[in-house]
Structure 1
Amino acid sequence: MFRSCFLAIYVTYMLLKHIRLLYELQTLDPRISYANQMRAVYDKPKSFMRGCVGLTGSTVSIHQFGKTPAGPVLYVHPKLTLADLAILLGHLDKTPSFFAEPRAFRYPLIGQWLNKMAAIKKSGDPNEAAEKIEDIVRKGQSFILSEDDGIDYEALAGRLGILVVPVETAGVGDMQKGALFKRLRPADIDLTIHQAYAISEKKQLRA
């Protein structure tokens, strides 16, 4: 109960604290590359996500196989929850865009941050969603997908000529316990970042 209260206070405080920063990010130098602009935008949100996890008393162990690829990639998770997404946004090397629920864009400050982070409103049209992802990736930004998003991520990665990086999280569900009332609990969380692969190479292996 106390951890939930502290988390709510922390979220409110951080949103109010960074109002000025949000305004400054509206006027980034257009001469800076899109990738570098996103690094500037994501600097505080990444710290914010790590802080949220830290307030639960949880620890995150990262297991990475292979080097982080250069350029944009598609991160693919088996089944993303909001907590999984927070883990990924806070701990991945890159600054990937992601899907967010449409109602999240209605909240003051939260909606502005989501727009600045190039988050995409989740919709029921996979083709429309894929087109929006393509626009973002072609600018140089990575994207986080869930396997249950209904998007053929391998076909998408093949069209864009980028690598797929499978990611998994374990122990995230242990942060919330309780049958009737969910309470935040410390958990040992594992983030596994698998070896990146190209779609053409995977097709050759299948053949």
Structure 2
Amino acid sequence: MIRYGFLLIYAAYMLMKHIRLLNELQTLDPRLSYANQMKAVYDKPKAFMRGCIGLTGSTVSIHQFGKTPAGPVLYVHPKLNLAELALLLGHLDKTASFFADPRAFRYPLIRQWLNKMAVVKKGADKTAAVEEIEEIVRKGQSFILSEDDGVDYQSLSKRLGVPIVPIETAGIADMKKGVFFKRLKPVDIDLTIHPAYVISEKEQLQA
């Protein structure tokens, strides 16, 4: 329960601390590519996500099979919850946009961050969501998908000509305990990044 309280305090503190940074990010150097602009935008959020995992006392082991290709990719996870998404955002080697619950956009400061990070609002209109993802990826930004998002990521990969990188996580579900009184406990977390492949070729890319 103590760790859970510290996590909430840390999250609130970092959110307020980054108000000034958010204002600075409104005027990114237009000479930078979209991918490099996103790196600048995601720099602090990635550190924040790693800090959230670190506050639980957990250890993260990354198992990567093959080098992630240059350029944007579609990361695909079997089934994501919020903690697993935080793990991926903090520890993947590429910056990647993602789906967020519509409720997260209700809060002005969080909404500004999500919009700046090119986060797509999860909703019933799958066609509009896929169009947003296509626009983001074509600009050079990677995207994280879950198999239960209802998006045909294989067709999307083929259409965009970008690789799919399957990813899996283990152990993080054991980190949060309790129903009425939440508490966090240290766990050993595994992040597995499988070899990338391209649907049009049905072959794994060589490192």
Shorter-normalised TM range: over 0.9
**8 Å contact kept, 2:99–2:122:** yes
Structure-1 separation of matches of 2:114 and 2:186: 27
- Name the SS for the 1:37 alignment partner: helix
TM-score, L = length of structure 2: 0.95
Structure-1 separation of matches of 2:157 and 2:44: 29
Structure-1 separation of matches of 2:73 and 2:97: 11
Alignment of 1:36-185 (within 5 A): 36-178=36-178, 180-185=180-185
Structure-2 separation of matches of 1:36 and 1:163: 19
Structure-2 separation of matches of 1:179 and 1:12: 22
TM-score, L = length of structure 1: 0.95
Structure-2 separation of matches of 1:103 and 1:89: 19
**Structure 2 portions without partners, runs of 5+:** none
Instruction: Give CA-to-partner distance per residue, 1:93-117, whole Å, 9 cap, x none.
Output: 1110000011101113211111110
Cα RMSD, aligned residues only: 1.3
**8 Å contact kept, 2:197–2:203:** no
Alignment-derived partner of residue 199 in structure 2:
199
Alignment-derived partner of residue 20 in structure 2:
20
Structure-2 separation of matches of 1:4 and 1:108: 24
**Structure 1 portions without partners, runs of 5+:** none
Number of aligned residue pairs: 204
Q: Which runs of at least 4 in structure 1 moved beyond 6 Å after TM superposition? A: none
Identity %: 77
Once the 2 structures are TM-superposed, how far is the Cα of residue 180 of structure 1 from its aligned partner? Answer: 4.7
**8 Å contact kept, 2:56–2:185:** yes
- Name the SS for the 1:88 alignment partner: helix
Instruction: Give CA-to-partner distance per residue, 1:120-148, whole Å, 9 cap, x none.
Output: 00011222211110000000000000000
Once the 2 structures are TM-superposed, how far is the Cα of residue 179 of structure 1 from its aligned partner? Answer: 5.1
**8 Å contact kept, 2:4–2:182:** no
